[in-house]
Structures are given as structure tokens and as C-alpha cells.
Structure 1
């Protein structure tokens, strides 16, 4: 019977039972791909038998080359970011890397947000080997003091203001071209966009919308109503649209949450979707696919963005600073834009 005083098994204990060196046990946990499958199995089996659990915090603090990745999320309310994080964590785990996620922002009393420098400092104290920033944080300068040899990858956002980082994001021009072409095929020409506010990502999507309208010969019909990335912002922007351009028949939105807000405002105004007005989102979050919603949207391939971002962080030689990779999106058509009576 255990007295509760037995010491916790160590890597040296695992090495002795597995019949390998302490260094090989350490390597199996830090870089399992560097250890042969047969030896790796012996090591992990010995660890299970002994009840060994690696103290990854201590390992990170004691090692110059840490296997710990800090994940900073700009907006915990946006479901597309959770998809990116899940894919990134799975990719990191597949190569024996640990990760810890936190919000990168702190809410103010007035409803605005500020960057949370304390989180970055905490990750630095844990000797993070790299940082994954998901989305646009209010002040990217909180990362400027991170050691220059530590890679920083930004997912779903650009690096215009932070050229030392890497970026993986969707190709907004392709996505908007597909969406506007779909609206035109459905017989629409009065097509507005709700977005453009809330940061560089929103401005890029608004610019992509305007280009797609020009390419379709509808430049004179282009109209951008300011909206951020929230459902409430979508409701407010749609109400403004009805006041300024009541003849609008189709609306593209900067993301799915804004589209849901627009759909809610349309119902409040007595409009049917899509019979009276077609509404489309962007990101293809799980919300868009709910049968009761049926939202047409642009799939940004969020999981692929997360996978690529994590693979760069796990690479022995990541791409050079300033590298940007655009992932081609695809349009997912659902009933919010399909009006068979047109």
C-alpha cells in the first residue's frame, strides 16, 4: 500500500526501465520524430508503467531550445479562431510540441479592448520557442521585445505593421470574386457590403469587395456600410443600409457573425431571406452550417491556415521574416442566397 511519500518517477527511472540513455528519453519527448519507432515505444511504455509525467514547464525553463509554443488569440468570441487554434495545436502535438493558449486582449470598462502585455511577458518567462498570433490584436507592439531568434507567426491577419513576423491568411480577392459572381448569377446588381471597420482585415475584405464589383461592371453600385466583426455591428449596419439604400437586394458581410446580425435585422424589418434580400457571410464557421441558419459564406480554410502556421513554428528552419502565404478560399452556397423565384 502506498504511503503517499514515494517519490515521483524521473526521466532517469524511465531510461533505466527502457534500457536506453537519459538523453534519448529526453529526445523522445522533445522531438519524437528523431527517435526510432521501436525505441520510442519502449520509452513510452516504460513511462506508462512507472506513471511518469513530464514536467514540461520545468523542461521549457531549463532548456535553451524549448518545445513550448505560446498561442495568442485576438477574439475569443469569433468561432473561426477556435478552428485555427484546434488545427494548430493538433499539428504541434503531432511533432511533440506543447502549446498554451490565452486571449491577447483585455476588455476595458467602456467595451473597447487593449492588448495584454502581461500574457506575452508570461510566455517569455516560460521560455516560449515561438508565438502563434490568431487574428488582429489592438497593439502588435507588445511583441516587439520578443527575442529576434524566436519565430512569430500571424494567422488570419497580415503583417503590414510587423514585418519581422510570418503570415498565413486567406486570399480575400479570390473569396470576394466568387461571392460577387454568385450574386450576379442570382440576378443581383444592387449589392452592398457590411464591413470595413475594426482593423486591417476588415479593410482588406472591403477593398476586395470593391474590386470584385468593378470587375463585374458594378462599380457605380458598390456601397460599403461600416461594420466591425460582431453580430451587434451587423444589426446596426444593416439598419443603416435600409435607410441609405433601401433598394439593395444582396449583402456581403465581413464575417459570419455580422451576417447573422444582418439576418436578424432583416427579420425585424419584415424582410425575408433570401426572397427579399440575399445575405452572405465570410469564414464558414460552424454557425453558418446550422440547418436553421443556412448561411452562404466563403470558406477561408481555417484549419489549413492553422496547420500551416503551426508547421512553420515547428520547423527547424522556418521561412524568412516577412513571408506571407495566401490560402485559396472557396464559396459554400446555402439557402440564404438562393431564391428560386428570381
Structure 2
């Protein structure tokens, strides 16, 4: 009996020791973190960054180079991000932005992967080589690490090779750019391409023969009433290409729209329904962005998207909101009126939404 008692007491003592060790470890970790932050802050006070002590290939933590109004819309924890230096100027450096998550659409093929194991950093990183960004030296907050010669050269190759691959590599469902105009490819012949132009608004277009269309978080109307032919030899750039599922959905919408007689009166109001109050805000955790909800129509949620870089775009989502977090904050009525008034929706839809906003005031 005494042996059993001694064993139990030993287990209890071991658990107590483990708990004490955990507390000590956490205290030491917190102390070291605070000391590191303090040391870095003191070092930054003495360092003045310019084109003499910043070098190409280095990665720096920088405040995003955005207007103050746009920066304030971004969560505090996301206003500072890493940038790779690719060129130096007198008052700023040219760089590529880095992200630990990477993009799931748009410029995916122009991202270069940085393995965290190669540099001893906490997370792996994706360098977006699709956009060169000017970052003032005064925005630099701290040195992060320096890319190896191999990674730096491969990163530049990724940018050049993907840019060449995008040009003239079109197919059904591609969105082409020519002379600053955008076109949707719906058929390809031996000598020319059949396209529908994309419009930013409905001016001069019959509502029932267009489809609201979104790519890269930008919103356009496909004008099915206008059919154009573009020569294959023309200088074209591919902006985006829809998946087979997306392309099928657009073509089905076209067939349905072209056959459907034009509705009159207040029929548009019957198509709208609301799963949330107008102005509700949802957080898209997988890409650190937000969505201001306006209305639902044909199983699509319409609203305003804005991301950590301060970009604002009217768009829609076709999936449910299970992967989004509904926030407690909601846009006030006056702000909503301004957003709806500047939206690309037709006049009847705007009037109906403004009426709903007025009803929410009371």
C-alpha cells in the first residue's frame, strides 16, 4: 500500500514541477520578446535609411505607401509588410510586396515562393512580381533579411517569363485588353476572335442584355448586344482567363438574357433579397480583406470589396458566407447613401436600395 502511495505522490510532484517550468518558460519568452522589441526600436531611432545603406535584394519591413485615408482603413496589424528591394532611387526604393498567404487568383502565376527554412524566418513568403511599388525610405521600419543570389535571380525570371506568357496566350473565356478597352472572348476563328466588350456602367445598354461580371475583384458588365471581331494578329494582352465553370455560367447567362423579353416596371425589385442588413461588414480571413454587403440577387451577394492595400471595388460573391466572419460594425446610413449613389447599378436598383436604407434608419 505504501508503494502505491509513493507512486501517486511522485506523479503529483512531477505535474507540479511541469506547471512551474511552463510558467517560468512563458515568463522568459515574454521578457525576451519585449527586450527584442525594445532593442529594435532603439536601433531604428539611430538608423536613417537611404540609397546608401539600403541594397538591392534586401527585404525590409515597411509601412505600406498609401494615402493616409486608405491606410486608416487597414487593420493596424496589416499596415506594415515586407518589400523586396529591386531598384534604388534618391528618395525611395522600387520593390515587390511580400505576403505569407499568397494570392489565390489574379496574378498567381507571377508570384515567387520564398521558403522560410532557407532564411530562418517564421513563415514562408510569396513575392508578387506583377506590380513594382515605390516605397519612400522613411517608410522603412526594420531590416528583415537578404535574398540569396539564386532566389533573387529566379524571382526576376518569374516576373519576366510570366509577363511574356500572358501576352497573346488567349482562349475561350479570356479577358483581353486592347487600346485600354476590355473584351470577353466567346469564340475563336482562324483569322479573328469574337468578343463582347466589357462596360463599367450601363449607359446606353439595355439592362436585360448584359451580365454583371467580376474578375480580379473588379466589376464590369458584359455587353451581349455588341459583337466585335478582333484580328488574331492584333497586339493583345490577356488580363485574365475564366475557369471552365465560370465560362459556362457566363454563356448560360448570355443565352438566357438574349432570349428573355425585357421586363418593365418594378420587376428588378422582385429579384432583390437581403440576408443581412444593408451595410453589414464581413471579414474574409483567407485574404485579409473586407466586404460591405448591399443585397442578394440570383444567389449572388453584391457589395463593396476592400483589401489591406486600400483598394475599393464593387463586386459580388457567388458562394455562401460560411468562410466569412460577420462583424459587429456596420456602415452608417450617410456613408451607405454615398456608396450606393456611386455604384455601377442601374437607376432603379439604386433607388430601391436607397429606400431600404431610409427604412433602416428608423
TM-score class normalised by the smaller sequence? under 0.3
Higher strand share: 2
- Per the normalisation by structure 1, the TM-score is 0.28
Higher relative contact order (CA 8 A, sep 6+): 1
- Per the normalisation by structure 2, the TM-score is 0.27
